[in-house]
Chains A and B, each alone.
Chain A
Amino acid sequence: MRNKFLVGLYSDEDKMIDGVRKMRENHLEVYDVVSPFAVHGLDDALGLNESRLHITGFIYGATGLTIALTFMSWVFTSDWPLNFGGKPHFSFPAFVPILFEFTVLSASIGMTLTFLLRSGLYPGRIREKLDERTTDDKFAVVFRINKKTTAEEISKMKDMLQSSGAEEIKERDLKRHY
């Protein structure tokens, strides 16, 4: 029962978004929407919180900057001070290019890894699909069905999917979470 889903497939993303809004107004918990591209306005309709990925990006970048600055300063002022034509050992302007590059490098690697990790994406990850066409041209509104879900609720879900323009409604019982 854990991985049982009720799926409604739409061809039109506007109908799908209106449907999701109505379902949530009617106190149905829409579990997910699976779509072939990022549909604008969907986050709002689903009531998703804003992603905090950009905050992690800032943290990774700031960490990279600090590491690079500390390291270069330590090398040139205390570990092995070299005399370059009598110029100051701590020559900050000359550090700027590497500081910038290392900040960008840390932020982008960190953010990408966080994105993959949080979304459970990695090479070779195989997921069972709700429907093959959701990466092509279909938008799937997904309800999760568990022990507490009553038959009444299920029929309400089906009605709402039907009335909002879902072309196909089906129950999927997956071995694992999709």
Chain B
Amino acid sequence: MHAESAVRAPLIYGNKTYHQITEDICRPIESKPTRLYLITITFTALLMTWGLFMIGWTVWFGIGTWGLNRTVDWGWDITNFVWWIGIGHAGTLISAILLLFRQKWRMAINRAAEAMTIFAVICAGLFPIFHMGRVWLIFFNLPYPNSRGPLWPNFNSPLLWDVFAISTYFTVSLLFWYTGLIPDIATVRDRAKKKFTKWIYGVLSFGWTGSAKHWQRHEALSLVLAGISTPLVLSVHTIVSFDFATSVIPGWHTTIFPPYFVAGAIFSGFAMVLTLMLVARKVMNLQQYITLEHIESMNKIIVLTGSIVGSAYITELFVAWYSGNIYEQYAFANRALGPYWWAYWGMMTCNVISPQLFWVRPLRRSVWFTFFMSIIINCGMWFERFVIIVTSIHRDFIPSSWSYYSPTYVEISIFAGTVGLFLTAFMLFAKTMPVIAMAETKHILRISGDAQKKAAAAHSHSHEDLPGSIQVH
């Protein structure tokens, strides 16, 4: 059996058995919803309904109900789109890239993070779709034989690349998530007592048995999907950044955008995973599975990606100055000192300064501090997208058409509505599906569990009292 060094802290605490893992992870699904749960989900569902109503309002009365004007034609909608897509990136990063790097700590959080990806991409997709105005003509985006020539969409346009990137990303994430869920749904099915519950989980489990050949194919599928999702997740935000980078707008027209956007996406995605999982681990009593080591590892990724984002901001400023191009220089001076200075400095404080605090180990391992920081980073990353989009275009080529943009209550309501949609979907998921990948957790129990670690530590004590060997308690 493959054993892991006792120096690494266990990933599962509490001397679990396989059966205990099943019990712990299925308990939230099988128990009655608490009063707190019902109150929260009612609130988020109302928020979602309000947002959907305002989307209907937009469709009925047109984009004129938003605060956009001739100069600022991308405002909160595209800001929110990029923000949500970014949040979605953590799920694929955790389950695909960390799988390829054989990071076992991903197992406690991958399922929930993948679910977040799917809900975040749904929220993201709503914005460009409804910004089209005549949403009933959305199929014009698709290359289908038509009576206009046939006139095809422009395959050279980053906006069309986005259509392909986002829809591929959504589909692949969904397949990855659901095929991973099938064995765990089967576990819930086999434990179900009520006839209806048994039936519904039976339908959803696709008749999974756990036969050796099926497991072999399942492993092969997960590995290949992870392999192709890794470049996919990098390509998605790269293509989102092309929406800006391929234009000729000062402030947008920069080659640094793809890596900068990808790092920012992972940064914000991890922050959102932390926000939700810190609450979920407490409410669902999963502290022995989502341990401080998991939180610390995620915070380390936040330091890394936050630093990449920070250096990208500074590189951008330097290059604007060094280019000698006065329009480029003005775009950046205007960001920091113009009418939207508050967004710029909000972004700088939240994204550049605050993640550096995670160099301090006690702060990385503090649940409350991490929760607080995750909110700060989510806000910071929203400001970043707002700064990039709105400040770059609000003072365009002719000073007579310069303008100021603020959102109307319709735009704010739609954004709040997507937050409601996201939270409602996540809460429904957490109540009906195993939030931790059970089969995978059982797989690492004998390698990274508490008992295994203690045995390994005892073993190393009795055999080798080498100088400098690390004691594990």
Residues of A within 8 A of B (CB): 13-14, 32-40, 42-43, 46, 48, 51, 53-54, 57, 61, 71-72, 75-76, 79-80, 82, 84, 87, 91, 94-95, 97-98, 100-102, 104-105, 107-109, 111-112, 115-116, 118-127, 129-130, 132-137, 178
Binds A, one of B28-36, B42-50, B125-133, B216-224: B216-224
**Closest residue of chain A to B165, judged by CB?**
A101
Question: Quick check: A43 and B155 within 8 Å, CB to CB?
Answer: no
Question: Quick check: B442 and A53 within 8 Å, CB to CB?
Answer: no
Main secondary structure of the interface of B (DSSP, over half): helix
Instruction: Provide the residues of chain A in CB contact with B218, threshold 8 Å.
Output: 38, 115
Question: Quick check: A84 and B154 within 8 Å, CB to CB?
Answer: yes
- Which of A13, A32, A82, A120 is within 8 Å of B207, CB to CB? A120
User: A-B pairs with CB below 8 Å: how many?
Assistant: 189
A35 nearest CB across to chain B (Å) = 5
Question: Quick check: A127 and B212 within 8 Å, CB to CB?
Answer: no
16 residue pairs bridging A and B, Cβ less than 8 Å apart: A36-B439, A37-B439, A37-B440, A53-B217, A53-B220, A101-B165, A104-B168, A108-B228, A115-B218, A119-B214, A123-B203, A127-B207, A127-B209, A132-B191, A133-B190, A135-B186
B286 nearest CB across to chain A (Å) = 18
Which 4 pairs from chain A and chain B are nearest by CB?
Answer: A125-B207, A137-B18, A121-B206, A37-B439
Number of contacting residues on B, CB 8 A? 67
**Closest residue of chain A to B182, judged by CB?**
A121
Question: Quick check: B143 and A105 within 8 Å, CB to CB?
Answer: no
- Would you call B235 an interface residue if the criterion is a C-beta within 8 Å of the partner chain's C-beta atoms? yes
- CA of A112 to CA of B206 in the docked complex: distance in angstroms? 13
Instruction: Provide the residues of chain B in CB contact with A71, threshold 8 Å.
Output: 143
Instruction: Provide the residues of chain A in CB contact with B206, threshold 8 Å.
Output: 116, 121-123, 125
Binds A, one of B57-65, B73-81, B98-106, B171-179: B171-179
**Closest residue of chain A to B222, judged by CB?**
A38
Instruction: Provide the residues of chain B in CB contact with A46, threshold 8 Å.
Output: 212
B245 nearest CB across to chain A (Å) = 12
Instruction: Provide the residues of chain A in CB contact with B191, threshold 8 Å.
Output: 132, 136
What 0/1 readout, one digit per residue, does chain B (182-225) give for beta carbons within 8 Å of chain A? 11001101110000000000111011111111111111110111
